[in-house]
């Protein structure tokens, strides 16, 4: 089952409930305008290339692969305590 990160983020905001005043965001986070919700968007990219050769020219090989990951981390203080939602999308195999 695949979900859009935007839909999951909106669902997380809906679950957050009434917010209490937050003093500031943790390091690496940014506060959304007109809100006390802190957000961090992070990710990484990986690319590999492997070249191999043998004595037979027909058996030479060259392989490539690439992958990436994007992560959305949302934090908000609610009347029930801290709320945190993490949405990660990607295909890194290592």
pTM: 0.57
Q: With 50 as the cut, is the pLDDT of residue 22 above it?
A: no
Q: Residue 10 in 3-state DSSP? A: helix
Confidence of residue 17 (pLDDT cuts 50, 70, 90): very low
Structural domain boundaries enclosing 74? 5-90
Burial class (CB in 10 A: 0-12, 13-18, 19+), 52: exposed
Q: With 90 as the cut, is the pLDDT of residue 39 above it?
A: yes
Q: Residue 9 in 3-state DSSP? A: helix
Tokens of 37: 């919700």
Confidence of residue 29 (pLDDT cuts 50, 70, 90): very high
Q: How many domains does the chain have?
A: 1
Which tens digit of pLDDT belongs to each residue from 62-85? 889 899 999 999 999 899 999 999
């Amino acid at each position: 089952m695949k979900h859009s990160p935007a839909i999951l983020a909106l669902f997380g905001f809906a679950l957050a409930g009434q917010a209490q005043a937050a003093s500031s965001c943790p390091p690496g986070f940014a506060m959304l305008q007109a809100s006390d919700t802190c957000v961090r968007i992070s990710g990484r990219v990986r690319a590999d290339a492997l070249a191999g050769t043998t004595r037979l020219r027909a058996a030479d090989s060259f392989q490539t692969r690439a992958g990436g990951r994007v992560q959305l981390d949302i934090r908000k203080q609610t009347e029930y305590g801290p709320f945190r939602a993490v949405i990660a999308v990607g295909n890194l195999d290592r």
